[in-house]
């Protein structure tokens, strides 16, 4: 259709709905062709019940991938048509058990032996005429979308596109206010600002840079929206600590945390070091997921000046080459 040629793949959902509507309209006509008073939307529930003596609403919903309210509504409609009986006897009085009525059983036998067989042959003929097997393609798409939803795929593409407008630069004194404000905003949103925070944020040159560390700033279209520090650790089994990573809420979804982390890793490699240490808190699930994605693994026993720290992690670059 010319409309979908104009919209492209953006209208995938609309095109699938249109195709579904066409198939459903034909399905209604097919039931009439076989003198069957039946609604196409009943078929998944009807077929499930035809394969067992009785089942609960929950079991049917799980089997066909529908919600329980949807199945309940269909059962009521089928009961009104005389095809099912609900509230059947059950050992558990709390379970609403439903099954096909005698009328439903007779209809199931007729449909499966005659109508379904004709439909199967007709669809096989359609598949043979087509260049692509839609039935197999649907199964493949269902599997792929189960692994990674369309929403997540679009979200990842958005991040990738927007991350191209992110530039990671090294710290200059002009960035001290934003280094401080971003960290204070992030820390106070989840915890309390501690004395150790104030010392570093008020004078990062003294507490980080002069001791052999680095600070990276993420610019999105020229605006500083993320920061991260690399602190040199003396007398430690670790070479550096990745700390004071903070990203503005308005930069969410732009992959800035990942890009800052990669800048830190690259800097550590260039400095000839291998072990990076990090402190965090398990309530910060997005942060923990980011560190895990980077290759950090949980460790314990390292002294910390922060009350909020309840997890320590390490990245050994010798093991991630």
Please check whether residues 68 and 116 belong to one and the same domain: yes
Calculate the average pLDDT of the chain.
91
Same domain, 199 and 312: yes
- Residues 54 and 199 placed together within one structural domain of the fold: no
Mean pLDDT of all residues in 255-261: 94
Degrees, nearest 5: CA angle 7-8-13: 85
Q: How many domains does the chain have?
A: 2
Note whether 27 and 116 are within 8 A (CB): no
Condensed to tens digits (0 to 9), the pLDDT of residues 285-297 reads 999 999 999 999 9
What is the structure's pLDDT at 53?
Answer: 81
293 and 167 inside one domain: yes
Residue where a domain terminates, one of 119, 147, 175: 147
Q: Classify burial at 143, counting beta carbons within 10 Å of its beta carbon; exposed 0-12, middle 13-18, buried 19 or more.
A: exposed
Task: Please check whether residues 207 and 187 belong to one and the same domain.
Answer: yes
Are 114 and 169 within one domain? Answer: no
Residue 84 structural domain: 34-147
Mark which of 147, 171, 197 sits at the end of a domain. Answer: 147
pLDDT of 88: 62
pTM for the predicted model, two decimal places: 0.69
Q: What is the pLDDT of residues 8-17, one digit of tens each?
A: 889 999 999 9
How many CB atoms sit inside 10 A of residue 243's CB? 20
What value does the mean pLDDT take over residues 300-308? Answer: 85
Mean pLDDT, residues 121-134 taken together: 95
Q: In what order do the strands lie in the sheet with 240-247?
A: 166-170, 214-220, 223-232, 240-247, 275-280, 311-316, 297-299
Q: How far is CA 217 from CA 175, 177, 180, 301, in A?
A: 8, 12, 12, 30
């Amino acid at each position: 259709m010319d409309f979908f040629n104009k919209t492209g793949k953006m209208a995938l959902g609309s095109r699938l709905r249109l195709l579904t509507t066409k198939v459903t309209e034909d399905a209604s006509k097919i039931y009439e062709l076989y003198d069957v008073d039946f609604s196409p939307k009943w078929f998944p529930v009807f077929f499930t019940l035809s394969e067992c003596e009785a089942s609960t609403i929950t079991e049917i919903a799980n089997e066909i991938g529908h919600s329980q309210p949807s199945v309940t509504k269909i059962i009521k409609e089928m009961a009104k048509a005389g095809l099912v009986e609900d509230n059947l006897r059950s050992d558990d009085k709390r379970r609403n058990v439903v099954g096909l009525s005698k009328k439903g059983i007779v209809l199931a036998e007729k449909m499966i032996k005659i109508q379904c067989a004709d439909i199967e042959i007709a669809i096989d003929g359609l598949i043979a005429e087509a260049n692509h097997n839609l039935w197999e393609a649907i199964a493949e798409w269902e599997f792929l979308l189960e692994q990674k939803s369309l929403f997540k795929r679009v979200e990842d593409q958005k991040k990738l596109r927007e991350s191209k407008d992110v530039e990671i630069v090294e710290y200059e004194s002009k960035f001290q206010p934003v280094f401080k404000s971003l960290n204070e905003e992030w820390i106070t949103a989840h915890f309390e600002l501690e004395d150790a925070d104030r010392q570093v944020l008020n004078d990062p040159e003294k507490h980080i840079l002069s001791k052999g560390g680095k600070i990276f700033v993420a610019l999105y279209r020229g605006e500083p929206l993320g920061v991260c520090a690399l602190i040199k650790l003396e007398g430690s089994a670790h070479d550096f600590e990745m700390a004071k990573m903070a990203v503005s809420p308005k930069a969410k979804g732009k992959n800035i945390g990942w890009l800052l982390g990669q800048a830190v890793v690259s800097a550590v490699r260039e400095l000839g070091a291998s072990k990076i240490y990090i402190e965090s808190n398990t309530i910060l699930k997005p942060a923990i997921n980011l560190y895990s994605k980077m290759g950090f693994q949980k460790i314990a026993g390292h002294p910390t000046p922060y009350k909020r720290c309840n997890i320590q992690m390490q990245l050994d670059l010798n093991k991630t080459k």
